[in-house]
Structure 1
């Protein structure tokens, strides 16, 4: 009698299919990413914002919660041993934790925009320490809290901004460029006008000097006319001298007399 062995191949296929079905049906919990400013500096007695944002694959709903905690870095402070909740946000409402922060902490974020920031008013030197931001967006509940180090300092200790100096330098450079452009346009216009004026004077001088040769020619012609008669040039002129002696043949006798009239130009 032969013993039938189970088909191991069929079992592996069935096990793999069952595992895939479980993975498709189940909704595994994903992590939530929380981000905050590493360090914030505030002047003593002023207000500042502690920013906190998060990213989640799930839709934000009323079940989303925000928790802010504080741990002091001063050994003589009551919040030095462990983080203490100073603000809690849930279902669209905010709740204050410790009395020291009750009237000085305000929620200024927008959960729908994934912003969980708060504002701290009337900053004090005792507020120096670490602020922790924790956000839960079920089913995204696993995530690392974001940490922000707050430093409350005097006004003289704040880093000076170079923005006014940069803006002033840029404005001054633009003003100088405008002046240079205006001066260049003025100089070019003056040179252009001077060139036009010189052209006019040269034309006038040419027009005034052009008739002078004519005058010389005319004067020479007038001189020549004054020295010579105005009539046309003539050659030798022959005059006839008549004989008035009374003889019969005297009428027919003519002695030609030739007068040479030579006129030079």
Structure 2
């Protein structure tokens, strides 16, 4: 179909199904922004010493809320996913009853602030690897999402050498101090030069006044004698 006005190019309107497609795209985009999201934080790895206790963080978020949210932790053992724990959270305020399938594991999230984190006690080198936090929300037509966290178990933590950082910081600080000192010296020099210039002007004015007085010019303070009258 075309719509035409005088002096205007004809406007072509697409078929009705194109508008339906645009509407569906917008709805799908809106739906994707409301989808369930599992997060392990901005830093998704941790380096810990053998024998220590560590927490594996995970939280969930949903714009439309949850109902019977299913979540689980799994350990990726060379491609074979082993169950760590799982549970169902009935609502935002409910504390889940978590089933734990691995030794030295404790659920510490308690669903406070959408938290489903776990604690690993007395970790060993065998505990190192990828842990996956998975969630599925029936309220969003079973939309699901997962996030992974890597645990690195070491004998001892590495000491970070900050020598280069200290050298760079000292160099930058020294450069800034040098620039500030130069600016102060420049301002002081300009101040002294302005004072000397003012003094030179005063000397020139004074010298000019003295020269005028000695030469008997107008404005001088010399006494002028009147010419005697002839009898």
Please indicate the TM-score interval, normalised by the length of the shorter structure.
0.5 to 0.7
Deviation of 1:211 after TM superposition, in Å, equals 0.5
Alignment-derived partner of residue 146 in structure 1: 147
After superposition, residues 230-241 of structure 1 pair within 5 angstroms as: 231-233=228-230
Shift of the 35–205 alpha-carbon distance from structure 1 to 2, 3 Å rule, reads same
Shift of the 218–207 alpha-carbon distance from structure 1 to 2, 3 Å rule, reads closer
After superposition, residues 206-221 of structure 1 pair within 5 angstroms as: 206-214=208-216
**Equivalent residue pairs, number:** 186
Alignment-derived partner of residue 136 in structure 1: 136
Give the TM-score of the pair, scaled to structure 2.
Answer: 0.56
User: 62, 69, 72: which one pairs with 2:74?
Assistant: 69
User: 86, 101, 105: which one pairs with 1:101?
Assistant: 105
Answer yes or no: is 1:34 the counterpart of 2:38. yes
After superposition, residues 153-164 of structure 1 pair within 5 angstroms as: 153=154, 154-156=156-158
Give the TM-score of the pair, scaled to structure 1.
Answer: 0.50
Aligned residue for 2:186, secondary structure, equals helix
Unaligned runs of 5+ in 2: 1-33
Mapped partners of 2:208, 2:120: distance in 1:
89
Alignment-derived partner of residue 203 in structure 1: 205
Mapped partners of 1:120, 1:205: distance in 2:
93
Unaligned runs of 5+ in 1: 1-29, 74-79, 235-265
Mapped partners of 2:87, 2:161: distance in 1:
32
Alignment-derived partner of residue 28 in structure 2: none
Alignment-derived partner of residue 84 in structure 2: 85
After superposition, residues 167-182 of structure 1 pair within 5 angstroms as: 172-182=174-184
Shift of the 218–171 alpha-carbon distance from structure 1 to 2, 3 Å rule, reads closer
Aligned residue for 1:92, secondary structure, equals coil
Whichever of the two has the greater Rg, that structure is: 1
Mapped partners of 1:169, 1:121: distance in 2:
45
Q: Indicate conservation of the 8 Å contact 1:33/1:56, yes or no.
A: yes
Q: Indicate conservation of the 8 Å contact 1:35/1:53, yes or no.
A: yes
What is the root-mean-square deviation of aligned Cα atoms in Å?
4.6
Mapped partners of 1:151, 1:52: distance in 2:
17
Deviation of 1:93 after TM superposition, in Å, equals 4.4
